[in-house]
């Protein structure tokens, strides 16, 4: 599996380089690795085999990259990769021929698919965290793909800030969790408790809420609808927004027993399910209706997984599968309507059931599944959720029933309003006949048809689907083995509740379809987030102007002062016992010379004199290395000092011969902080080394270096081994940093003014239509 992920990344990098030359064929290249992953996942799902693949990164720090395929992860991988293939087909029909940036879009889409695939199969906390962050970065690039659109840029920035903040919470949560469960694989986590476990539970739930757009972190998702529709159909239905759900699922066995896990998770889920459904009812943009509906349905999944019962877990997994199929199909239909009619406003759309019959049938099937109507896969999944709520006791039962019944009624209501608004007759008799549509694009229609058939076929083959869902649920909770999805549950309480939900919701939706026709309000909190981000940027500029003032002495003063402050905790263990003057008289003489030269350097008025004095200090330090018996360091120090002195002398030719005069107060403060603080810090560290146990114990890194210098490093000098083995990696890291900086500079300096518009407005109305919900103009 690790090699498969690396293959995906390599294909994405190659596609980024040559994709623009391929045009829409780049989606075929992007879909090929996804097809391989989907085939691997399907085989693992059918055979139910378990595969674990690990790579030891840093053994001493317990950093291991590990992935696994089991019944749960293979199901998720099948959804991620399988729907990804359909998205590539859809995108090939969505973008007009000759659209600039298609290759870049396809490469980024493949990179996101790789990140999401790695996230769902991760088996260690650090593996999951790495891919979690990659999903945030790649989704930012996809949402902001229309880089000339101010609304898209603002929406992408908002999404990145919120999800990246959640990534910080996840990192802190994993640190707390691994403190009480060190080295545990995610698939082997056992229940933990205590203060650190409680902290981990809160942080991990917050991280999940940010990624799965749960209230109050939901404001990024409606704004992200500024992205091209293939992004919305993929990221915001079947993949990225499910990352938080996956996180809650894998962490629940370990943190479910903490006192905060269930109430906080249910609070996130309940608030999001109701508020998301209300938000969907208030929208007139069909795409935003889908987005707000996603917030609502993700809330139901989070709430079910937070409950912790085996039946609720089983229901949550079933809803994850059903939701991925019907919501991706609905997003695709909305995108097709947008491209063929030039609008997504349901007030301007009417009568499309005759002019777009395929889209109409797909919408009816997918919408009915979302509403929980048989014979579609959404029906048994919703039934399982109601049964799970009825199986609870006391307050949990009442709360979950209220959430599911209230949220589901609103879901049916906004689904009914959406279908009637887009495909029904116009309520305004002056509007005339049906909305005019452009010719069909088969490659846009085909993927949604496949998903609609999968929703219908899932109900027909419910026994097979039950086995897959049950196997995935058992990985999370072994008690889920006894549950099944039912085509006909009988006249049970759950079935009667479902019937009532559909009837009431349909009546409410029909009534609201003719009344909620005004412009939709802005997303509550979106402006606040954008304003906060802007103010942080302004504050950063102010701080940078104060701190990065161009004064080298000021920088040195800040660095030394910070180092001295960092050393202050060592003062409590101050002990002069280990401190002694010198090993031989030569060291003492050289030390006095170094101190005297340092004082002289502060009094010299000419630049050349200061350079020579600094060189003298360096050569005196070389003498100290000679006295210590370190000839390799002597040669290194001599080379460095010679180059530095020569460089100073050469560079001084362009400067004045003397230093500018400075005040006595500024000079005194520099001497006090730079000299006294630095010296005091060094003395404090040395004097506290004995009490802090800095002499290497038997199991320390220093002891291991001493033992393995000859066997592993091939040298008797530990310093040489460190320089050649350890510092080689450090140097490689520095080279990578320089390469990244160079790439950034190259990207900033590249201009392509003759390229023309990135998108075809006439052919791609979805790519250029402004949305009042996301467009912010600031000065």
Q: How confident is the model at residue 48 (pLDDT cuts 50, 70, 90)?
A: confident
Lowest-confidence segment of 223-232, 516-525, 548-557, 587-596 by average pLDDT = 516-525
- The DSSP H or E segment spanning 128 is helix 125-143
Q: What is the pLDDT of residue 380?
A: 95
Coarse DSSP helix, strand, coil percentages of the chain, rounded to the nearest 5 percent: 75, 5, 25
Burial 191-221 (b: 16+ CB within 10 A, else e): ebeeebbbbbbbbbbbbbbbbbbbbebbbbb
- Predicted confidence (pLDDT) at residue 756 exceeds the cutoff of 70: no
> Does residue 570 sit in the same domain as residue 636?
yes
Helix (H) or strand (E) holding 556: helix 552-567
Q: Are residues 459 and 486 in the same domain?
A: yes
pLDDT > 80? residue 498:
yes
> Measured on CA atoms in the order 767, 350, 323, 245, is the torsion positive or negative?
positive
Question: Where is the domain boundary, 659, 694, 729?
Answer: 694
Structural contact between residues 67 and 2, judged by C-beta atoms closer than 8 angstroms: yes
Mean pLDDT for the stretch of residues 341-354:
88
Residue bearing tokens 């549509």: 437
CA–CA dist 626, 587 (Å, integer):
9
Task: Give the confidence band of 757 by pLDDT, cuts at 50, 70, 90.
Answer: very low
Residue 630 pLDDT: 73
Mean pLDDT of 667-682: 72
**What is the pLDDT confidence band of residue 773, given thresholds at 50, 70 and 90?**
very low
What's the pLDDT at 693?
47
Residue 570 has pLDDT above 70, yes or no: no
Specify the 3-state DSSP secondary structure of 98: coil
Mean pLDDT of 307-319: 94
In this structure, of 388-402, 418-432, 440-454, 506-520, the range with the lowest mean pLDDT score is 418-432
Range with the poorest average pLDDT among 157-166, 463-472, 641-650, 686-695 = 686-695
What is residue 165's predicted lDDT score, i.e. its pLDDT? 93
286 and 428 share one domain: yes
| Nearest one of 616, 623, 622 to 645, comparing CA atoms | 616
**Which residue, 635, 553, 627, is CA-closest to 594?**
627
Same domain, 558 and 513: no
Gap between the Cα atoms of 336 and 152, Å rounded: 20
**CATH code at position 574:** 1.20.120
- Which of 136-150, 742-756, 765-779 has the highest mean predicted lDDT (pLDDT)? 136-150
Is residue 319 included in any domain, yes or no?
Answer: yes
The counts of H helices and E strands in the chain are: 31, 2
Lowest mean per-residue pLDDT among 258-267, 335-344, 657-666 = 657-666
The predicted model gives 499-514 an average pLDDT of: 91
pLDDT confidence of residue 753: 52
Section 446-462 average pLDDT: 95
Q: Would you state the pLDDT for residue 701?
A: 65
pLDDT band at 520 (very low <50, low <70, confident <90, very high): low
| Closest to 193 measured CA to CA, from 261, 290, 291, 120 | 261
Q: Do 471 and 390 share a structural domain?
A: yes
Ranking 151-165, 443-457, 601-615, 663-677 by mean pLDDT, the lowest is: 663-677
Question: Taking each helix axis from N to C terminus, what angle separates 243-255 and 261-282, rounded to the nearest 10 degrees?
Answer: 160
**What confidence tier does 204 reach under pLDDT thresholds 50, 70, 90?**
very high
Q: Where is the domain boundary, 531, 563, 579?
A: 531
Is 557 found in the same domain as 513? no
* pLDDT of 761 higher than 50: no
Task: Give the containing element (helix H, strand E) for 65.
Answer: strand 63-69
| Sign of the dihedral defined by the CA atoms of residues 330, 75, 310, 124, in that order | negative
- Asked whether residue 526 falls in the same domain as residue 607, the answer is no
- Quick check: is 407 in a domain? yes
Residue 123: predicted pLDDT: 92
| Model pLDDT, residue 578 | 59
- Residues 506 and 556 reside in one and the same domain: no
The whole domain housing 465 covers 144-531
Q: What is the mean pLDDT of residues 545-555?
A: 77
pLDDT above 70 (res 431): no
> Are both 364 and 235 inside the same structural domain?
yes
Q: Which residues contact 721 (CB under 8 A, 6 or more apart)?
A: 705, 709, 712, 713, 714, 715
**pLDDT-derived band at 1, boundaries 50, 70, 90:** confident
Cα separation of 412 and 378, whole Å? 12
Q: Do 463 and 572 share a domain, yes or no?
A: no
**Residue 1 placed within a domain:** no
Overall number of domains in the chain: 2
Answer yes or no: is pLDDT of 255 > 60. Answer: yes
State the pLDDT at residue 767: 37
Residue 758 confidence (pLDDT) above 50:
no
Better-scored residue on pLDDT, 156 or 756:
156
**What's the mean pLDDT in 370-381?**
94
300 or 546: whose pLDDT is higher?
300
Residues 499 and 617 in one domain: no
Percent of the chain with pLDDT over 70: 87
In a domain, 128, yes or no: no
Q: Whose CA is closest to 504, among 364, 419, 405?
A: 405
Q: pLDDT digits over 615-660, tens only?
A: 888 888 888 888 877 777 788 788 888 888 787 777 777 777 887 7
- Residues 582-608 have a mean pLDDT of 83
50 domain residue, yes or no: no
Secondary structure (DSSP) of 495-538: HHHHHHHHHHHHHHHHHHHTT--SPPPPPTTHHHHHHHHHHHHH
Whether pLDDT at 754 is above 60: no
Residue 492 lies in a domain: yes
Residues 530 and 264: their CA atoms lie apart, in Å, by 26
Asked whether residue 20 is assigned to any structural domain, the reply reads no
**Domain end residue (candidates: 694, 716, 733):** 694
Contacts of 178-181 with CB under 8 Å at 24 or more apart are 178/125, 181/254
Please give the full DSSP string across 275-313, using - where no structure is assigned: HHHHHHHH--BHHHHHHHHHHHHHHHHHHHHHH--HHHH
Q: Could you give the CA distance from residue 338 to residue 254 in angstroms, rounded to a whole number?
A: 45
* pLDDT, the chain, mean: 84
Q: What pLDDT is attached to residue 668?
A: 73
Cis status, amide bond into 528, omega within 30 of 0: no
- What mean pLDDT is predicted for residues 355-360? 93
| 314 and 295 Cβ atoms separated by less than 8 Å | no
Using the structure block, give the residue that is written with the tokens 């490659």: 443
pLDDT at res. 475: 93
The percentage of the chain sitting over the pLDDT mark of 90, rounded to a whole number, equals: 47
Residue 661, pLDDT score: 76
pLDDT at 586: 82
487 and 553 housed in the same domain: no
pLDDT-derived band of residue 273, with 50, 70 and 90 as boundaries?
A: very high
- Average pLDDT (81-97) is 93
223 in a domain, yes or no?
A: yes
- Name the phi and psi angles at 68, rounded to 5: -145, 150
Grade residue 601 by pLDDT with cuts at 50, 70 and 90: confident
Q: Omega of the bond prior to 375 within 30 degrees of 0, cis?
A: yes
Task: Give 179 or 132, the one with higher predicted confidence.
Answer: 132
pTM of the predicted model as reported, rounded to 2 decimal places: 0.79
The segment with the largest mean pLDDT, out of 451-455, 532-536, 731-735, is: 451-455
Q: How confident is the model at residue 769 (pLDDT cuts 50, 70, 90)?
A: very low
Q: Provide the angle, in degrees to the nearest 10, between the axes of the packed helices 71-94 and 26-47.
A: 160
Note the pLDDT of residue 737. 86
Task: Kindly tell me if the per-residue pLDDT of 699 is higher than 80.
Answer: no
Give mean pLDDT, residues 449-455.
96
pLDDT score of 275 more than 80: yes
pLDDT confidence of residue 759 = 42
Over residues 450-478, the mean pLDDT reads: 94
Which of 395-399, 504-508, 745-749 has the largest mean confidence?
504-508
């Amino acid at each position: 599996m690790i090699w498969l992920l690396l293959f995906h990344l390599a294909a994405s990098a190659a596609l980024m380089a040559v994709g623009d030359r391929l045009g829409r064929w780049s989606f075929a290249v992007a879909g090929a690795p996804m097809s391989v992953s989907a085939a691997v996942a399907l085989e693992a799902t059918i055979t139910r085999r378990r595969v674990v693949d690990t790579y030891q990164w840093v053994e001493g720090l317990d950093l291991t990259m590990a992935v696994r395929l089991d019944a749960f992860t293979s199901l998720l991988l099948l959804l991620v990769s399988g729907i990804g293939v359909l998205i590539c087909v859809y995108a090939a029909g969505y973008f007009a021929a000759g659209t600039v940036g298609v290759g870049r879009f396809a490469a980024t889409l493949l990179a996101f698919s790789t990140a999401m695939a790695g996230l769902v199969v991760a088996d260690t906390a650090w593996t999951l965290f790495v891919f979690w962050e990659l999903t945030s970065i790649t989704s930012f690039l996809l949402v902001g793909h229309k880089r000339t659109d101010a609304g898209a840029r603002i929406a992408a920035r908002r999404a990145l800030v919120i999800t990246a903040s959640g990534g910080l919470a996840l990192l802190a949560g994993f640190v707390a969790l691994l403190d009480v469960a060190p080295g545990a694989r995610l698939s082997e986590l056992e229940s933990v408790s205590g203060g650190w476990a409680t902290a981990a539970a809160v942080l991990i739930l917050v991280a999940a809420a940010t990624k799965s757009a749960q209230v109050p972190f939901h404001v990024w998702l409606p704004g992200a609808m500024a992205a091209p529709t293939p992004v919305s159909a993929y990221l915001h239905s079947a993949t990225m927004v499910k990352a938080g759900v996956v996180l809650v699922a894998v962490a629940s066995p370990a943190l479910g027993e903490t006192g905060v896990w269930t109430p906080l998770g249910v609070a996130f889920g309940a608030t999001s399910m109701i508020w998301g459904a209300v938000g969907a009812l208030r929208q007139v943009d069909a795409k935003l209706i889908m987005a707000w509906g996603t917030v609502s349905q993700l809330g139901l999944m989070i709430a079910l997984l937070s409950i912790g019962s085996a039946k609720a877990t089983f229901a949550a997994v079933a809803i994850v599968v059903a939701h991925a199929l019907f919501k991706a199909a609905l997003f695709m239909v909305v995108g097709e309507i947008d491209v063929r009619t030039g609008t997504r406003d349901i007030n301007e759309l009417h009568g499309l059931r005759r002019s777009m019959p395929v889209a109409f049938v797909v919408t009816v099937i997918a919408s009915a599944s979302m509403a929980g109507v048989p014979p579609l896969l959404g029906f048994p999944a919703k039934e399982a959720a109601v049964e799970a709520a009825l199986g609870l006791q006391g307050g949990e039962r009442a709360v979950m029933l209220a959430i599911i019944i209230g949220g589901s009624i609103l879901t049916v209501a906004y689904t009914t309003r959406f279908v009637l608004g887009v495909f029904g007759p116009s309520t305004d008799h002056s509007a005339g006949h049906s909305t005019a549509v452009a010719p069909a694009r088969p490659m846009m229609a085909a993927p949604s048809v496949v998903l609609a058939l999968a929703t219908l076929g899932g109900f027909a083959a419910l026994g097979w689907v039950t086995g897959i869902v049950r196997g995935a649920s058992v990985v999370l909770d072994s008690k889920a083995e006894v549950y099944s999805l039912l085509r006909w549950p009988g006249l049970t309480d759950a079935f009667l509740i479902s019937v009532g939900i559909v009837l009431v919701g349909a009546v409410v939706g029909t009534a609201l379809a003719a009344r909620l026709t005004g412009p939709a309000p802005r997303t509550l909190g979106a402006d606040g987030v954008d304003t906060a981000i802007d103010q942080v940027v302004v504050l950063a500029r102010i701080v940078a102007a104060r701190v990065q003032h161009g004064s080298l002495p000021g920088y040195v003063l800040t660095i030394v002062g910070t180092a001295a402050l960092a050393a202050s905790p060592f003062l409590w263990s101050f002990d002069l016992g280990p401190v002694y003057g010198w090993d031989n008289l030569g060291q003492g003489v050289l030390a006095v010379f170094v101190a005297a030269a340092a004082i002289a350097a502060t009094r010299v008025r000419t630049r050349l004199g200061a350079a020579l004095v600094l060189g003298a200090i360096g050569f005196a330090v070389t003498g100290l290395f000679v006295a210590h018996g370190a000839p390799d360091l002597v040669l290194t120090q001599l080379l460095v000092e010679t180059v530095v002195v020569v460089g100073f002398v050469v560079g001084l030719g362009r400067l004045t011969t003397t230093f500018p005069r400075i005040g006595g107060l500024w000079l005194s403060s520099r001497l006090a902080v730079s000299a006294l603080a630095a010296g005091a810090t060094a003395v404090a560290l040395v004097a506290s080394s004995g009490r802090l146990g800095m002499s290497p114990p038997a199991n320390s890194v220093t002891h291991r270096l001493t033992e393995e210098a000859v066997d592993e490093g091939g040298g008797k000098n530990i310093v040489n081994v460190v320089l050649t083995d350890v510092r080689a990696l450090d140097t490689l890291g520095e080279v990578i940093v320089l390469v990244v900086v160079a790439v950034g500079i190259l990207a900033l300096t590249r201009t392509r003014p003759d390229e023309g518009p990135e998108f075809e407005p006439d052919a791609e109305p979805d790519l250029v239509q402004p949305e009042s919900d996301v467009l912010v103009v600031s000065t």
